[in-house]
Amino acid sequence: MPLIFEHLFKDYSQIRAAFPASPPTGFRLIGQFLTFNLWLFLFAAYALVKLYQKPDHPLWVIVLWGLLSFAWLMTQTNLLPQEIALLLPPLAIIAGWGLVQAGEYMLRFANFESAGGRAWFMVALLLLVYILFSGQQFQAFQFREFDTASDLTQVERRQEIADFIAQHTQPEACVIIDDAALAVAANRLPAPELLELSETRIGSGLLSEQQLIDLFQEKDCQAVVFSKREQSLHLAGFQGLLSAYYPHESKIIQTRIYYR
């Protein structure tokens, strides 16, 4: 057990040395996250204004949760966009309370006398918020998944790419693929040692260039597939070695396939 912890701490310190925390990058990613969740952010901001007048309100526990999550993210190395989703639960809870407070304020402002009038007003308000929120979230989903037209085309032709990979590799063969959905569609998986080829692992020296090539040979990997630019950009320096090890190379849309 001490050897395991020693190995983990050694790897962690090596990663921290190669990828120190970058607050500007963290703030940029969090800014993108708040833009993608604009309506939640607006209602959460309104909730914080109301909470300022209630220092003993139990919702401050959720605010503390969000602040601790934010502080933890700011200390992370090589922060990824998906990791920012850690802020979503506290943001949604605070925004929900803010929405209720905003609804109550609108009811008082409109001064509805009947219970039926108040109910219909609340239904209309919630429906409006839902429509605006859904439209904004749909646009955010589009921006996240498809940065360019070729990205969309690549997703639409995923099965064609998967069929090409399956045609040029044997069943159950080791194939390095940076897109999990494409790997499932092609029914080709990498060896466990090659399952994670992240920028952190490569850039910190935990997996060297020679070790990578040795693993390709040892596991008899029949192909390497670069499909997602954000997942494989840091491996661009290995493409010369891959060309020497894999004599054939094909490109379908943005997907580059090295195979024997």
* Closest alpha carbon to 169 in 226, 236, 220: 220
Query: In angstroms, rounded to a whole number, what is the distance separating the alpha carbons of residues 200 and 210?
Result: 17
Q: Are 241 and 210 in contact (CB under 8 A)?
A: no
Return d(Cα 211, Cα 97) in angstroms, integer.
53
Give the integer Cα–Cα distance in Å for 250 and 253.
Answer: 10
Please state, in angstroms and rounded to a whole number, the distance separating the CA atoms of residues 101 and 238. 56
Residue in the structure block whose two tokens are 């500007």: 24
In the numeric block, the tokens 């429509």 are attached to: 131
d(C-alpha 150, C-alpha 118), whole Å: 49
**Eight-state DSSP code of residue 236:** G
pLDDT digits 0-9 by tens, 133-164? 655 555 555 455 545 556 677 777 888 888 99
The DSSP secondary-structure symbol of 225 reads E
State the Cα–Cα distance between residues 11 and 236, nearest whole angstrom.
23
Cβ within 8 Å of residue 197, ≥6 positions away? 176, 178, 207, 212, 235
pTM metric for this prediction: 0.52
- Collect the ranges in the chain with pLDDT lower than 50: 142, 146
The phi and psi torsions of 80 (rounded to 5 degrees) equal -105, 150
Q: Are 254 and 151 in contact (CB under 8 A)?
A: yes
pLDDT for 254 equals: 79
Give, in order, the Cα–Cα distances in Å from 247 to each of 36, 82, 233, 258: 43, 36, 21, 8
